[in-house]
Structure 1
Amino acid sequence: MIDLVCNVSNAVKAVDPKAKVYINIGGAVNLLYNDRLLGCIDGVLREELRSHPGPSGPEPQDPWETPAVLDTLAYSHSHGKTVLVGSRDRLKGARSLCVRAWSHGFIPVPQPAWTLGCSTPPRQFGAVAPQWLKATSKSIIRRPYTSIQYLSLFDIL
């Protein structure tokens, strides 16, 4: 997996040296302790920090999972990586997610992002969007995203 991410990163940056490569880490957060992987990416996205989808709506994560994930994300952030965090709580938990994420230096992406227009942090929270988030550039992504654009392997294969 690390080889694949690094190969994709190298290929993207060969086309555009200013390109930023972000990964959606999912359940493989321990890979973020790998220095080689960290050297190949500019940032990481992790959704569902405190809950996961259940049959009748969001269910809490196991008690050990959230602190463990936050530790790996903090490690990545301390190594200069941009950290994006998301939640499936929709509008209900968006403010809480944003406040907690910003307190760690992470960038919140409430889900579904298009409901909040999260191409910039909501103004009522007093945040200013970082410059990279406002920037537009050529994209090799096959389908448009309504907020932050990031690559998944399925978009480029």
Structure 2
Amino acid sequence: MSEVRVQPESFDAGAELNRFSASQAGAGAVVSFTGVVRDVAGGLEAMEIEHYPGMTEKAITGIVEEAGRRWPLTGALVIHRHGRLEPGAQIMMVATASAHRAAAFEAAEFLMDYLKSRAPFWKKELTRDGAGWVAAVEADENALKRW
């Protein structure tokens, strides 16, 4: 069972993880990661995340399917928010399940690296000094090379 959701509303990471875990019969490991909006340089008032409905879900579903081909997963969950998010807000969640922990960890990292660098979202930081689009980061691009 895999699920991809792109939504403006917040989510309860604990409830989502409990629901996902309960649906993973035969899994010996469940790995989850929840990302939050952080104020790296100071002065961040909000981040605006844009996407093209339909295209974004299709792209993320494709990478979840790729993870399922690479690792023996019993399931995966990806939730990613869009819209205006303030510092500290949950931005995304990835959960993977497998019979063994190595596969669950590796698949979760693969999905997180993809979401960070390749998922079709556009992020604008709104600061007290103005607004600007978030550029790709070399370290994030390099993280993809290991896959």
Q: TM-score, normalised by structure 2?
A: 0.29
Of Structure 1 and Structure 2, the greater strand share is in 2
Q: TM-score, normalised by structure 1?
A: 0.27
Of Structure 1 and Structure 2, the greater helix share is in 1
